[in-house]
Amino acid sequence: MTTPTHSLNAQAGRPPRWLRHSLILARRSLAKTSRNPGAIVNGVVTPALFLVLFLYLFGRAVAGSTDDYVQYLFPGIIVMGASLAGLVSTGTNINIDLKNGVTDRFRSLPISRLAPLLGSVLADIARYLIGVAILFLLGTILGFRSHAGIATTLAAIGLAVLFGFCISWITVLIGVMVKNAEAVLAFSFLTFLPLQLGTSLATPTTSLPGWLQSWVHINPVTAVMDACRALLNGTPPGDRITTTLIWCAAIFLVFCPMAVWIYGRRE
Amino acid sequence: MTDHGLEAHGLTKRFRGITALNGVDLAIPRGQILGLLGPNGAGKTTLIRVLATLLRPDSGTAHVAGYDVTRQPGQVRRRIALSGQHTSVDEELDGRANLVMIGQLLDLTRRDATRRADELLSRFGLTEAGSRRVATYSGGMRRRLDLAASLVGHPQVVFLDEPSVGLDPGKREELWQMIRDLSSDGVTILLTTQYLEEADTLADAVMVIDHGRVIASGTPAQLKQQVGGHTVNVRVNDPADADRAAAILTAVTDRTPARATRHQLAVPVSDDDDFFQIAAELRRQAVNVSELSLRLPSLDEAFHALTDAAADTPTPQRP
């Protein structure tokens, strides 16, 4: 065969190869979702359940009325949804690919080792955005009103998505390290309670006992929830946005390179 | 660039104290098919994974299509394709989407990728099935799609890891023809198999590995010869003659013949003249035979002889 290699067609005006390949692989993951929408349901149902449950269980007790409480609770639920999207499906999907041999094909192709991982995470984000739309609809029905303009509302969502993107790399790392997808799920369930609920999600931190307060203050999810709450409710965010961004950068810079490295060398 | 599609010298690879490859050398001229034989765990898959840049060797060098697998893995990946037991297509997607995706990952535009996918679907008789999910495919269709997926980028070297496992004989023939066609297009093929028949019919050269070492290599015919000589088969008409025939065989060859049935005897011969002596003696003593033949060992017998011999020699490298 004289055709020497794969045609290197005009690169001008197209995104860099690693990003293009990631998007192609993200589309693969999304095509699967459209046949099996369970992944979206998962990412929506859990936060929606917590929203309804907390609202009617604690609404009166914490805020005096459910109308006031939904303003406090809802932004945190959005963050929970974003983090869950990353925590549950990405690591599991990557682990399944590794086992069934699709990964060997990807790794023998001349594409960046980042692309299959990034593709999977990007697909999760697309799924999450659909989830957010559904959650916003539900929140509105339950009485939530954004006090911010469109731009600020989008910024709040953007912050939650960014955090979900970065935290995904933790499960991606676990997904490329462990033998079984179950281990990834076990990690997600173990971390769900302390990470998502050990936050300012349900009540302001001042009402918590001291030992719990110190955890809640360290927990990066608190910062993201606080930042989103401030943005959506039009209150001053203080240092919460900066703290969120620093956490995002730190988590991403530690876990993404490690995951890609291990993925490339996995035997 | 060398004349070799594949070339390796002294490849070693250890996993947690187990030596999977222990100094493997190989060379396949461009456009030829090398059949890699060996029992389970012999190192066949490890060798393929090293050559396909999925594993780094601990030592040794390997060139694929002229490029070094450890120093130029990107160049190697542009020219190879991997197919077989450990690779797979995506079950959840349809056949066409699988091929289009790979085309796009190889930097074809969507239109070119679609055209290439349709071309391959029709070449592999999957045009009808192209829009169905792979999960609904039969084993044979899946193998064909898998092979098609590996050809999207016009590879120069193709690795086929046990390509016909689980295929019924008819489908196997069909796959073999596709592999031969590839080879006549100039593609270098390394194929692992446990079916000796497969190596015998497809391969230009055969390499037998065991415990990570090459224990024999050559053309299928050379390999059969290497294991030793020919066998004389005698089939007597009357089972009562079997003992007389056995006595003749023993007298000529100094060996006790094996008796497969009451009619059949077989004995290895080291000298070609033995056959004629046996024939003459059978005639002189008027032993009626319905069959008298001289044949090379089957590749099966060669394989077992080789791996048994290797198992008898100690392998100090394995802890």
SS (H, E, C) A203-215: CCHHHCCHHHHHH
pLDDT at B101: 95
pLDDT at A1: 40
pLDDT at A8: 47
Write the DSSP assignment of B263-313 as a string of letters: SEEEEEESSHHHHHHHHHHHHHTT--EEEEEEEPPPHHHHHHHHHHHHHHS
| Chain B contact set for A101 (CB, 8 A) | 85-88
Comparison of pLDDT for A84 and A114, the residue scoring more:
A114
Per-residue pLDDT band for B317 (boundaries 50, 70, 90) equals: very low
pLDDT at A253: 97
Contact B109 A6 (CB under 8 A): no
pLDDT at B28 over 90: yes
Greatest mean pLDDT range, A207-221, B100-114, B228-242:
B100-114
| Chain A contact set for B186 (CB, 8 A) | 1
Per-residue pLDDT band for B27 (boundaries 50, 70, 90) equals: very high
B280 CB within 8 Å of a chain A CB: no
Phi and psi at residue B259, to the nearest 5°: -115, 110
pLDDT at B262 over 90: no
Mean pLDDT of the region A22-45:
80
**Coil, strand, or helix at residue B193?**
strand
Q: What is the mean pLDDT of chain B?
A: 87
The answer to whether A147 and A233 have CB atoms below 8 angstroms apart is yes
**Coil, strand, or helix at residue B218?**
strand
Comparison of pLDDT for B232 and B8, the residue scoring more:
B8
Per-residue pLDDT band for B197 (boundaries 50, 70, 90) equals: confident
Contacts of residue A207, Cβ cutoff 8 Å, sequence gap at least 6: none
pLDDT at B40 over 50: yes
A193 CB within 8 Å of a chain B CB: no
Bridging pattern class, strands B4-15 and B18-29 = antiparallel
**Would you say how long chain B is, in residues?**
319
Alpha helices in chain B (DSSP H): 44-51, 73-79, 95-105, 110-123, 139-151, 169-184, 196-202, 220-226, 242-253, 272-284, 299-312
Give the minimum alpha-carbon distance from B198 to chain A in angstroms, rounded to a whole number: 24
% of chain B with per-residue pLDDT over 70: 93
Q: How far apart are CA B85 and CA B161, in angstroms?
A: 6
pLDDT at A5: 43
pLDDT at B207: 92
pLDDT at B155 over 90: yes
Q: How far apart are CA A231 and CA A151, in angstroms?
A: 10
pLDDT at B256: 85
| Chain A contact set for B133 (CB, 8 A) | 35
Closest CB to A109: pick one of B49, B93, B105.
B105
The answer to whether A91 and A171 have CB atoms below 8 angstroms apart is yes
Closest CA to B180 of B208, B160, B153: B160
**Coil, strand, or helix at residue B20?**
strand
Give the minimum alpha-carbon distance from B81 to chain A in angstroms, rounded to a whole number: 7
Q: How far apart are CA B248 and CA B231, in angstroms?
A: 15
Q: How far apart are CA B208 and CA B185, in angstroms?
A: 26
Least confident of A72-76, A91-95, A255-259: A91-95
pLDDT at A7: 44
Closest CB to A1: pick one of B74, B93, B186.
B186
Bridging pattern class, strands B230-236 and B213-218 = unpaired
Mutate to test the interface with A, among B45, B86, B87 (most CBs of A within 10 A): B87
% of chain A with per-residue pLDDT over 70: 91
pLDDT at A87: 67
Bridge partners, B205 (sequence order): B34
For B183-195, the pLDDT digits (tens) are: 999 999 999 987 7
pLDDT at B120 over 60: yes
pLDDT at B318: 38
Comparison of pLDDT for A266 and B175, the residue scoring more:
B175
A104 CB within 8 Å of a chain B CB: yes
Strands of B80-84's sheet in order across: B80-84, B157-161, B188-193, B33-37, B205-210, B213-218
A25 CB within 8 Å of a chain B CB: yes
Q: How far apart are CA B229 and CA B226, in angstroms?
A: 8
Model confidence, pTM: 0.80
Closest CA to B204 of B230, B236, B228, B182: B182
Task: Give the H/E segment covering residue B190.
Answer: strand B188-193
Give the minimum alpha-carbon distance from B24 to chain A in angstroms, rounded to a whole number: 19
pLDDT at B196 over 80: no
Q: Which residue of B has its CA nearest to A110?
A: B77
Give the minimum alpha-carbon distance from A232 to chain B in angstroms, rounded to a whole number: 39
Write the DSSP assignment of B32-45 as a string of letters: -EEEEE--TTSSHH
Contact B156 A1 (CB under 8 A): yes
Contact B93 A3 (CB under 8 A): no
ipTM above 0.90, yes or no: no
pLDDT at B10: 94
Task: Give the H/E segment covering residue B192.
Answer: strand B188-193
pLDDT at A93: 81
Closest CB to A31: pick one of B88, B97, B108.
B97
A218 CB within 8 Å of a chain B CB: no
Contact A35 B92 (CB under 8 A): yes
Closest CB to A108: pick one of B15, B80, B185.
B80
pLDDT at A13: 65
Mean pLDDT of the region A78-107:
82
Least confident of A92-106, B89-103, B293-307: B293-307
Give the minimum alpha-carbon distance from A171 to chain B in angstroms, rounded to a whole number: 22
Per-residue pLDDT band for A39 (boundaries 50, 70, 90) equals: low
For A111-141, the pLDDT digits (tens) are: 999 999 999 999 888 888 888 888 999 999 9
Contact B80 A35 (CB under 8 A): no
pLDDT at A4: 42
Give the minimum alpha-carbon distance from A174 to chain B in angstroms, rounded to a whole number: 20
Per-residue pLDDT band for B230 (boundaries 50, 70, 90) equals: confident
For B58-83, the pLDDT digits (tens) are: 999 999 999 999 999 999 999 999 98
Per-residue pLDDT band for B92 (boundaries 50, 70, 90) equals: confident
% of chain B with per-residue pLDDT over 90: 46
Least confident of A94-98, A154-158, B17-21, B119-123: A94-98
Closest CB to B77: pick one of A7, A27, A109.
A109
Strands of B289-295's sheet in order across: B258-259, B264-269, B230-236, B289-295
